[in-house]
Amino acid sequence: PKSLNERNKAIFQMDIVDEQIDITTRAVMGLTVSCARCHDHKFDPFPTEDYYALAGIFRSTETLYGTSGGQGNRQAGKLASLEPIGTAAKPAPAKKPVAKKADVPAKKTARKPGNSKRLKQLVAQQKKVKQELNEARAKLSDKVKKNKKQTNRALKPIRIRLRKLNKQIQQIRGGGGGKKKKKKGGGAKKPSGPVAMGVREGSPADCRVHIRGNIRTLGDSVTRGFLQVVKLDGSDKINARQSGRLELANWLTHADNPLTARVMANRVWYHLTGRGLVTTPDNFGAMGQRPSHPELLDHLALKFQQDNWSVKSLVRSIVLSHAYRLSSSQNTAGTARDPDNTLFWRMNHRRLDAESIRDAILTASGQLDPTPRKQSIISEIGDANVGRNANLTRRINESNRHRSVYLPIVRNRLPEMLRLFDFAEPSIIVGRREVTTVPAQALFLLNSSFVIEQSDHMARRILAATDDPTRVRQAYRLALGRIPSDAEISAATGLVRDTIASLPSGGDDGKQLRAWSGLCQSLMACAEFRYLQ
């Protein structure tokens, strides 16, 4: 990933372009094109010229992101209330100057009785002070005039008086400070709604080859274009007056592009079953693995295109298949013939990802808010203040009861739960997460204030039942999605009784809550809670 501390602007720009090329080609086509930045790709047929043909497209694009001056984007929370596209008011014609909101009350102020008279007085004073400033400047000796610091010191009192007068005049006239000049001919009103990261057309230009990736050693200029190994009819011409982003998008989604649909179909299959038909989802090149079921991959890719590139339709077709509905139970014959389950004769036994574990805990406790979050903490405090906020990670997790997919991700400030349970590295493309089992995970489930709080909420839910066996059944249904056996009911009720007996006397209701909360936390911490059967 690019270094945000890079001081050389040219290097930083090429690092951004390299990151954009890497993300686009790996995420969409499963190819490591960024390896051709310094030399021809060692394994795949991508010469350096192909890399800089793509680089020209991204260098001709201006990337816009962040919030200026550390200000938060508080209007982002109003997205849901905005009018749908097409029904919003159209911007005013460019020939008609549009009044800003700040201008409206100012006009009313100027009409108040006495304002006109006061304005004339201030303008007259302003004229006198300007004359006084010019006279004082003329009286300065040549020696003082040559010294800027002494000149400023001598004229400072008069300049302060002049600034105050200017401010008073501007307040009456309603100009907002007078620092910014209005564009000639007016113009359309700037958007007042929320803003988000995006791009726009920059200055279209081809990129020269950087020999060995060095910005100071330049080779021939390369016409903007795409990978030569994938030639598609009618998709290789880029408008000289545009960046080429539209043409790149059309090339990527062309019906004859051999990779885009296959890569996406493989990613969806991997997400649903725990292993891809190609086990290297980010690399379909020479160093990647070959598909275990090439005909199935082709079938899914073709169906994906025929269904108008609908991910929802692709998911539906996979989850309704026999392969998806298989049990994860093993049998001797299948294990002997295919121990790694390469042929998908059973469902893969796998752990939930970090986001799903968090969502499962909130669901069991009844605290999950299924609605999309309208505004994030990052938009409230502003990008520039993210690193200064010591409690940011706690605020992100503890104040948020929405699904984990709506959590804001700060690259170096991941919530503890996501970090411990193998959340993907946010700064790079990670198509397949590593799954680890470490002591810190168990310690988190036993000691985290978040898990303890959710256990208390779950305990309050099951205490609504009248008898202990019913409460145990309710706890198992909420946490594990099944009915407990008689032995499990007996063990659970015994645990609760022993816990209540071990607690200090007094406050029976509090003892009950603590005991049942302990049982709920035990269920959340067990392996069955975290693994799909």
Residues 525, 528, 533: CA angle, nearest 5 degrees: 155
pLDDT score recorded for residue 142: 74
Please, what sign has the CA dihedral across residues 350, 351, 354, 357?
positive
> Which residue type sits at 261?
A
Q: What is the pLDDT of residue 358?
A: 94
The answer to whether residues 247 and 235 touch, using CB atoms and an 8 Å cutoff, is yes
Question: What tens digit of pLDDT does each residue of 238-288 get?
Answer: 888 889 999 999 999 998 999 999 999 999 999 999 999 999 999 999 999
* Position 70 confidence tier, pLDDT thresholds 50, 70, 90: very low
Q: Is 206 left (phi over 0), alpha (psi -120 to 50) or beta?
A: beta
Q: What are phi and psi of 61, to 5 degrees?
A: -115, 130
Residues 378, 381, 385, 388, CA torsion sign: negative
469 pLDDT band, cuts 50/70/90, is very high
Using DSSP's 3-state secondary structure scheme, residue 324 falls into coil
Tens-place pLDDT, residues 366-422: 999 988 877 776 776 666 666 666 666 666 666 678 898 888 888 777 888 899 999
* Cβ atoms of 349 and 531 closer than 8 Å: yes
Coil/strand/helix, residue 91 = coil
Q: Model pTM?
A: 0.72
Q: How many angstroms separate the most distant Cα atoms in the chain?
A: 105
pLDDT in tens, 17-62: 999 999 999 999 999 999 999 999 999 999 999 999 999 999 998 8
Q: Does residue 353 have a pLDDT over 80?
A: yes
Contacts of 432 (CB under 8 A, 6+ apart): 270, 276, 279, 280, 281, 282
**CA R_g for the chain:** 33
CA 485 from centroid of its chain's CA atoms: 44
* Chain centroid, CA 466 distance in Å: 46
Hey, what are 316's tokens? Answer: 């539906």
